[in-house]
Amino acid sequence: MFLKKYNVSIEVKTPFNIASGEADGYIHKRTVRLKGEPYIPGSTIKGKVRSNFYKLTLANHIDGMCDCPVCNIFGGQGYKPSRIYVDDFVLNDTAKDEGQCREKKAPVFIKVGNAIDRYKKTAKHEALFITEMVKPAVFTGTITVYFDEDTLRYKQDLELAIKMIDSVGNGRSRGYGRVKVYLEEVT
Ligand SMILES: [Zn+2]
């Protein structure tokens, strides 16, 4: 096994919402939180890395017992555990401190939109849709991969698959959740 560890920064450039599925109070769509702070779940990032990696390697993936590089790294059916561990990405501490010095600013804001009837293109004024959005910020976490002799040759593809992530959350087509990912190999 060859353990590789990466420090990863996700620079969020436009506001995002990763729906928590909870609607509480007057907010219809909360963003996910960890210990009260907005975050980007590791599972969200892992799913995107997997999908990018699959496109890059054009793996001959089959349903069921499969020996392709995607399954060998990300886990598959049968006893094939995941060899990649993706942390939850939390708000970068320094950025948070700066924010507090400036104006104790909250990392989120509220976006109010009309629920549009897509067919008639008319706004239903009585139906406001309220979304909690996370402000642009830097989120950090680590990604750890246990390569073996076979999967080690996909190391560069995997690194590229991480860097290729360009959005998180909902509303990508409307410009929300645009990100740039920075990767530093530490082990
Ligand atoms: Zn496979």
Query: In Å, what is the CA distance from 125 to each residue of 8, 18, 116, 117, 128?
Result: 43, 25, 9, 11, 7
**Given this model, what pLDDT does residue 24 score?**
74
CA 42–ligand 1 middle distance (angstroms): 21
Tally of CB atoms within 10 A around 126: 7
**Given this model, what pLDDT does residue 113 score?**
81
Give percent of the chain above pLDDT 70: 86
CA 4–ligand 1 middle distance (angstroms): 22
CA 69–ligand 1 middle distance (angstroms): 7
CA 45–ligand 1 middle distance (angstroms): 19
C-beta pairs of 18-27 under 8 Å, 24+ apart in sequence = 18/44, 18/168, 18/169, 18/170, 19/169, 19/170, 26/130, 27/110, 27/130, 27/131, 27/132
CA 116–ligand 1 middle distance (angstroms): 41
CA 7–ligand 1 middle distance (angstroms): 27
Q: pLDDT for 140-180, tens place per residue?
A: 999 999 999 999 999 999 999 999 999 999 888 999 999 99
CA 62–ligand 1 middle distance (angstroms): 5
CA 151–ligand 1 middle distance (angstroms): 13
Helices 42-57 and 155-163 cross at an angle (nearest 10°) of 120
CA 94–ligand 1 middle distance (angstroms): 40
CA 106–ligand 1 middle distance (angstroms): 43
pLDDT of 81 higher than 70: yes
CA 26–ligand 1 middle distance (angstroms): 44
CA 61–ligand 1 middle distance (angstroms): 4
- Give 177: exposed, middle or buried? Use CB within 10 Å, 0-12, 13-18, 19+: buried
**Given this model, what pLDDT does residue 90 score?**
97
Q: pLDDT for 7-55, tens place per residue?
A: 999 999 999 999 988 777 788 889 999 999 999 999 999 999 999 999 9
Which residue from 127, 135, 172 is spatially nearest to 31, judged by alpha carbons? 135
Alpha carbon distance 44, 154 (integer Å): 21
Output 143 or 93, whichever has higher pLDDT.
143
| CATH of segment(s) 2-185 | 3.30.70
CA 71–ligand 1 middle distance (angstroms): 4
Residue 52 CB partners (closer than 8 Å, separation 6+): 160, 161, 162, 164, 165
Q: How confident is the model at residue 115 (pLDDT cuts 50, 70, 90)?
A: low
pLDDT of 78 higher than 60: yes
pLDDT of 99 higher than 60: no
**Given this model, what pLDDT does residue 102 score?**
47
**Given this model, what pLDDT does residue 187 score?**
87
